[in-house]
């Protein structure tokens, strides 16, 4: 069964940190060990702070990149709202390369039995 939500006025329990194995280069371990002694901070806390900052920076960058992509898509849609140019390019490509497209398959004449079945079914 699921956990009950906290009662009004009570704080929700903190998420339990998950133990994770990571591989760090030797020079990073050396630097972290030195900082640990100077700053008197646990190495785990320093790594968590560094990862948090990295995730925040990357998230901002990804968000900015996605906004740029979305704006380019919107600009394209405004320039060709009915996708006429896109459809024209698609039709031209089909006309130019469609006959040699193996996905299109090949027309095969129906055999006598299949022709008779189609005739009976009124196709």
Residue 87's pLDDT band (boundaries 50, 70, 90)?
A: confident
- Least confident span in 54-58, 84-88, 102-106: 102-106
- Residue 49's pLDDT is 97
Question: Is the per-residue pLDDT at 4 higher than 70?
Answer: no
Cβ atoms of residues 32 and 47 within 8 Å: yes
**Overall residue count recorded for the chain in this entry:** 123
Q: How far apart are CA 42 and CA 117, in angstroms?
A: 80
Residue 97's pLDDT band (boundaries 50, 70, 90)?
A: confident
Q: Smallest Cα–Cα separation from 48: which of 56, 37, 59?
A: 56
């Amino acid at each position: 069964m699921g956990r009950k939500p906290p009662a009004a006025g009570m704080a929700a329990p903190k998420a339990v940190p998950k133990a994770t194995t990571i591989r760090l280069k030797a020079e990073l371990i050396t630097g972290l060990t030195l900082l640990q002694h100077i700053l008197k901070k646990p190495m785990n806390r320093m790594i968590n702070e560094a990862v948090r900052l990295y995730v925040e920076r990357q998230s901002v960058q990804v968000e900015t990149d996605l906004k740029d992509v979305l704006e380019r898509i919107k600009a394209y849609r405004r320039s060709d709202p009915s996708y006429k140019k896109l459809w024209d390019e698609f039709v031209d490509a089909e006309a130019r390369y469609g006959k040699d497209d193996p996905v299109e398959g090949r027309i095969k004449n129906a055999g006598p039995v299949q022709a008779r079945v189609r005739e009976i079914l009124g196709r």
